Amino acid sequence: MSDTPEPEPSPKPQPSGESADLTGTTAPGRGAAGPAPAADLQHLYQELAQTNVRLEEEAQRRTIALATAAHRLKTPLAIISGYIELLLSQKAGTLVERQIEILEDTQENCARLQRFIQDFLTYSALETGSVAIQAELGDLNACLAEVYELWLPRFQKKGVALYLTAGTRLDPFKFDSFKIEEVVSNLLDNSLKFTPGGGSVWLSAERHFWDRRGGHDIRAPIERRKLNSSTPNSVKVTVADTGPGIEPEFHQEIFQDFFRIPGASESSEGTGLGLAIARRLVQAHSGKIWVESEPGSGSRVSFLLPLEPPARESTGTS
Ligand SMILES: Nc1ncnc2c1ncn2[C@@H]1O[C@H](COP(=O)(O)OP(=O)(O)O)[C@@H](O)[C@H]1O
Ligand SMILES: [Mg+2]
């Protein structure tokens, strides 16, 4: 979306007659006459807040418009796919080798487009807040086993070994199994895509103590002191691979919308939305996601799901 022109903030005349400097390079309202009165700063602050709300609304409208367009593409694409399948089945007439090749290529491109549309629809639904987390008591190991079974044939086809090492018994806790399956699928998709044949990928889950005191632990201090630091309060899920690894400078950016590492991802298919979607879904569970990696040493993407969501955080999307 970098080609969208940035709306300019509307500068307001300052008491000194200058325009407000919203870049922060000079102190706003500070002229030869000294600091601006508190009322002026208050006014400037309100104006910035209004501009911010307006920009957010515009971004939402754009996302909804693009999602509507993407949604409309779904039906014709499904019809095209159906016809390709029919032709390939040769029920509508016998095909020569070259025709089969062309149709198979078209089918693959249709599937790519369908994946892109699906990613974009999920992203825009999360972005516009129309996705609700349906957290129910569940067995995370069973959820991971399902995703593992689903992905195993694709790994076998490429010659990449896939291991499920979810050996630890996990007590049932509340999470949205469809959304967590989607998160894990996005991570496995990356590991499969970036790991060359002959490599390995491990999917694992373990109990984990998540010390949120430095972050946004909203429990009362007395309650926190009672918490034994050895008591696991979350589950950590990790997808580790023997792929090319990721430069530390990109460890944050790969979770941003539409971000793909320049150069590294160009030869592979993708939208740059998989990890951004995963981040939103994990955050909607009050969890967090991160990567540990060095170029040449593979990647480990992990996420934490709290066994009990912090009381003041809603279970909706963030
Ligand atoms: N396991 C991995 N190994 C190497 N690079 C990765 C891995 N996972 C993610 N990346 C990098 O992060 C980028 C963003 O990932 P993602 O959001 O899933 O987008 P996409 O898969 O569509 O490229 C990828 O394009 C790739 O450059
Ligand atoms: Mg991806």
Q: Whose CA is nearest to atom 18 of ligand 1?
A: 274
Residues 145-151 have a mean pLDDT of 96
Does the structure show a pLDDT above 80 at 44? Answer: yes
How far away, in angstroms, is 190 Cα from ligand 1 center? 6
Predicted confidence at residue 32, as pLDDT, reads 52
Does the structure show a pLDDT above 50 at 19? Answer: no
- pLDDT per position as a tens digit, 91-107: 999 999 999 999 999 99
Q: Report the C-alpha gap between 264 and 303 in whole angstroms.
A: 23
Predicted confidence at residue 8, as pLDDT, reads 40
Check pocket membership of 274 for ligand 1, CB cut-off 6 A.
yes
Predicted confidence at residue 99, as pLDDT, reads 97
The candidate with the shortest Cα–Cα distance to 146, out of 116, 181, 182, is: 181
Does the structure show a pLDDT above 90 at 4? Answer: no
- pLDDT per position as a tens digit, 239-270: 999 999 999 999 999 999 999 999 876 778 88
Predicted confidence at residue 264, as pLDDT, reads 76
Least confident of 71-75, 101-105, 235-239: 71-75
Predicted confidence at residue 1, as pLDDT, reads 37
Q: Report the C-alpha gap between 43 and 269 in whole angstroms.
A: 48
pLDDT above 70 as % of the chain: 81
**What is the H or E stretch that residue 162 is in?**
strand 161-165
Task: Give Cα 95 distance to the centre of its chain.
Answer: 42
Beta pairing, strands 299-306 & 288-293: antiparallel
Q: Which residue has the higher pLDDT, 176 or 61?
A: 176
Cβ atoms within 10 Å, residue 142:
12
Q: Report the C-alpha gap between 135 and 179 in whole angstroms.
A: 9
Q: Report the C-alpha gap between 237 and 205 in whole angstroms.
A: 4
Residues 6+ apart with CB under 8 A from 135: 174, 175, 176, 285, 309, 315
Token duo for residue 187: 């991570």
Predicted confidence at residue 152, as pLDDT, reads 97
Residues 33-59 have a mean pLDDT of 87
Check pocket membership of 183 for ligand 1, CB cut-off 6 A.
no
Residues 56-67 have a mean pLDDT of 86
Q: Which residue has the higher pLDDT, 69 or 311?
A: 69
Please spell the DSSP secondary structure of 227-276, one letter per residue: S-TTS--EEEEEEEE-S----GGGTTGGGSTT---TTTTTTS---S-HHH
Residues 6+ apart with CB under 8 A from 152: 162
Does the structure show a pLDDT above 60 at 276? Answer: yes
CB burial string 171-183: b at 16+ within 10 A, e below: eebbbbbebbbbb
Residues 6+ apart with CB under 8 A from 154: 192
Q: Whose CA is nearest to atom 10 of ligand 1?
A: 190
Among 158, 162, 190, 249, the mutation site with the greatest number of ligand 1 atoms within 8 A of its Cβ is 190
The candidate with the shortest Cα–Cα distance to 241, out of 204, 190, 191, 315, is: 191
Measure the CA dihedral 35/37/41/44, to 10°: -110
Spell out the alpha helix ranges (H) of the chain: 38-88, 97-127, 140-158, 177-194, 221-226, 274-284
Q: Whose CA is nearest to atom 22 of ligand 1?
A: 270
Which atom belonging to ligand 1 lies closest to the Cα atom of 241?
1
Distances, alpha carbon 242 to alpha carbons 88, 162, 196, 239, 270, in Å: 37, 11, 8, 11, 20
Does the structure show a pLDDT above 60 at 237? Answer: yes
- pLDDT per position as a tens digit, 280-317: 999 999 999 999 999 999 999 999 999 987 765 444 43
Q: Which residue has the higher pLDDT, 316 or 132?
A: 132
Would you place residue 38 in the very low, low, confident or very high pLDDT band (cuts 50, 70, 90)?
A: confident
Q: Whose CA is nearest to atom 27 of ligand 1?
A: 261
Amino acid in the structure at residue 74: K
Please say whether the beta carbons of 137 and 172 come within 8 A: yes
Q: Which ligand is nearest to the CA of 276?
A: 1
Question: Phi-psi category of 195—alpha, beta or left, where left has phi over 0 and alpha has psi -120 to 50?
Answer: beta
Predicted confidence at residue 16, as pLDDT, reads 41
Does the structure show a pLDDT above 50 at 35? Answer: yes
